Structure 1
Amino acid sequence: MKVGVMAGYWGAGPPRRIEQTLAEAEALGVDSFWTAESYGSDALTPLAWWGSQTSTIALGTSVCQMAARTPTALAMAAQTIDHLSGGRLILGIGASGPQVVEGWYGAPYPRPLERTREYVSIMRAVWARDEPVTFDGRHFQLPLHGGTGLGKPLRSIVHPLRADIPVYMGAEGPKNVALAAEIADGWTPLWFSPKTDEFYRAALADGFAREGARRSADDFEIANVCWLAEDDDVERAAARLKPVVALYAGGMGAKGANFHNDVFVRMGWGEACAEIQSFYLAGRADLAAQAVPTAMVEDVALVGPVDKICEDIVTRWKPTCLTTLILGGWPRREESRNRILEAIRA
């Protein structure tokens, strides 16, 4: 299993110590470094800025929201960073949800799987650079239908360093996971739990079995963000992550349309999720966090003393379908870092 480190998206401002964390990670041979975006900081600018201070670590987005950019715009940004980094980009993309897509980007959300398929096809046509890019889809047309009539098929001026930049898809539901297995090079889960491994293996197998599937289980990457909080007291460690879990399970999306909530419900946390969401939508984020059971955090994160964290990695996380464990938290103590990295890589 490979190991990554997550910077994520920003809160009120840039996260602290990222430069130091990234320098330590690259020195320790960590495989990848990841940024993200929601509706504040973008994923690409920090990746380029911080990535310029590195030379070997892979640079990934987990994820770029498709509604934020047209397919050709994201293809341009990707090939630019890939050139500047010497071929180290991993382009993670995701559909997000209707709350963000329609509320923040002012774009339509329906038929996200179909939209994703078109989006990826266009990006790959840009990078292949075989001919001027044309596309006639339900969601995207190049040249645009119904415009001035002056639109012209174009070919990228830039010759991509790699004509096949790896694309990972952020997905949570089984249909989207299957689509990732069919058309992408990797999958970035969110709130993966080892106890849902068989459920996701079945969804992946569905995608791999489709005609024209791009990859197989043998060469498909699965890079999961796993939050980490080290503390000698498990309850105290879990308490640091409960607000994050509550935000996603309770506050990301509307009632009845929260895909993260659905993930936790599938794990068996339906009753807790209902209470968390009720508090969050009532404006009581504090009570929502308090309603998150510690065991719910332990399902999706590494919490507690370093001995417990390492044991969980070896016995629970390594036997899963995951190929990369992206740490959503960087141990401050050198001894802990070394032991955790060793447990993941062993």
Structure 2
Amino acid sequence: MTAELRLGINVGYWQRHPEDQTETVLAAERLGYDAVFTAEAYGSDAFTPLTWYAARTSRIRLGTAVVQMSARTPAATAMHALTLDALSGGRVILGLGASGPQVVEGWYGQPFPRPLARTREYLDIVRQVWRREAPVTNDGPHYPLPHPGGAGLGKPLKSIVHPLRPEIPVYLGAEGPKNIALAAELTQGWLPLFVDPRQIEPLFGESLRGRPDGFDIAATVTTIVTDDLAAALEFAKIPLAFYIGGMGARDRNFHLDLIGRLGYAEEAARVQELFLKGDRAAAVKAVPDDLADAISLLGPLGRIRERLQLWRDSPVTTLLVAGVKDEPTLRALRDLVKG
């Protein structure tokens, strides 16, 4: 059970068209929200909007949920993070994720196998860069430094810049038990997606058992404040259908696997089938109402107040509100959580 939930916002990644959410971020900062998180898939990147918001704010922390590891070498990600951390006065949270084989191999042209081992190497290199204790080296198979081939002239290097903080907080986006356990072992936080607060302990309690004090479980929660619960449910189903059906290969989709663990394996398979056939409207309708409701905060403020207790009773420590853009609603949600 969480003594006091922190509040943040997740503005995600751009959908179809560029979207500047500066006004939403400024409102969140004024209202005392702890953090703003950006994301990336295969369109807009996470760091550029975050830097844009950093330049317009002074207090709110700046997180990525998540930066895809295959998009950048570990050294490049470390450079991005240390640069933004310095310019923002030490406000960065680096959220990392392995993504899935469809994006990693189809978009970035990188191999996907052994994501856990790759994540360990990636984290080690990033932290070597920030700590500047010695020139950066890695003898692992995924990110060898110096590169063992090429011109044969590579040598270990140390960052020219002394980072503002030698230990920038790192969170992992993770859906499977082994990856969640890795987050608890090696990082300062877990970024769950599509999580039912009632099932975190039964499904992932063992994975989280070794987490350190202060470990942050920052859950992104689709939030729609409206008197029309049916309409809210339909809207909340759209990203579920997309991730179950389209954000993964037919035979390897971690989002589909997660929904199966939540108790909806048969329904998830049907959603994927419809989505891959091109009937996206039917795929959305096939998402169970109970699933969409369980992982979201939907309906009138009174109903959301009641359902917030499920999150307070869970191990979640930060709620990342997704889908809310206007200041009055952000204020009302803050008052519900903090009141």
Give the TM-score normalised by structure 2.
0.96
Matches within 5 A, 1:269-308: 269-308=264-303
Matches within 5 A, 1:212-223: 216=212, 218-223=213-218
Q: Which whole-Å CA distance do the structure 1 matches of 2:95 and 2:49 have between them?
A: 15
Matches within 5 A, 1:74-93: 74-93=77-96
Deviation string 1:237-258 (CA, Å, 9 cap, x unpaired) is: 1111211111011221112211
Kept after mapping to 2: 8 A contact 1:230/1:331? no
- Deviation at 1:333? 6.5
1:51 aligns with one of 51, 54, 65? 54
Across the aligned residues of Structure 1 and Structure 2, the Cα RMSD in angstroms comes to 1.2
Q: Which whole-Å CA distance do the structure 2 matches of 1:190 and 1:333 have between them?
A: 24
2:59 is equivalent to residue 64 of structure 1: no
Q: Which whole-Å CA distance do the structure 1 matches of 2:105 and 2:224 have between them?
A: 34
1:323 aligns with one of 314, 317, 325? 317
2:307 is paired with a residue of what secondary structure? helix
2:223 is paired with a residue of what secondary structure? strand
Q: Which moved more, 1:116-125 or 1:293-302?
A: 293-302
2:330 is equivalent to residue 342 of structure 1: no
- For 1:211, the equivalent position in structure 2 comes to none
2:252 is paired with a residue of what secondary structure? coil
Q: Which whole-Å CA distance do the structure 2 matches of 1:256 and 1:231 have between them?
A: 37
- Deviation at 1:331? 5.9
- Deviation at 1:167? 0.5
Letter in 2 for 1:264: I
Unmatched 5+ stretches in structure 2 = none
Q: Structure 1's 274 and 84: CA in aligned 2 closer, same or farther, altered over 3 A? A: same
- For 1:212, the equivalent position in structure 2 comes to none
2:75 is paired with a residue of what secondary structure? helix
Aligned length: 334
Letter in 2 for 1:339: A
1:327 is paired with a residue of what secondary structure? strand
Q: Which whole-Å CA distance do the structure 2 matches of 1:108 and 1:252 have between them?
A: 17
2:263 is paired with a residue of what secondary structure? coil
Kept after mapping to 2: 8 A contact 1:318/1:344? no
Matches within 5 A, 1:122-133: 122-133=125-136
Deviation string 1:192-212 (CA, Å, 9 cap, x unpaired) is: 11121212222111xx2xxxx
Q: Structure 1's 333 and 85: CA in aligned 2 closer, same or farther, altered over 3 A? A: closer
Letter in 2 for 1:250: G
- For 2:25, the equivalent position in structure 1 comes to 22
1:247 aligns with one of 236, 242, 249? 242
State, as a whole percentage, how many aligned pairs show the same letter. 49
2:160 is paired with a residue of what secondary structure? coil
- Deviation at 1:147? 2.2
1:135 is paired with a residue of what secondary structure? coil
Structure with the bigger RCO (C-alpha within 8 Å, sep 6+) is: 2
- For 1:201, the equivalent position in structure 2 comes to 205
Q: Which whole-Å CA distance do the structure 1 matches of 2:74 and 2:186 have between them?
A: 15
Letter in 1 for 2:18: P
Kept after mapping to 1: 8 A contact 2:241/2:271? yes
Q: Structure 1's 333 and 149: CA in aligned 2 closer, same or farther, altered over 3 A? A: closer
Q: Which whole-Å CA distance do the structure 2 matches of 1:249 and 1:122 have between them?
A: 32
Deviation string 1:222-279 (CA, Å, 9 cap, x unpaired) is: 1110001111021111111211111011221112211111111111112211111110
Deviation string 1:159-204 (CA, Å, 9 cap, x unpaired) is: 0000000000000000000001011111101111112121222211
- Deviation at 1:345? 3.0
Deviation string 1:101-146 (CA, Å, 9 cap, x unpaired) is: 0000000000000000000000000000011111111111111112
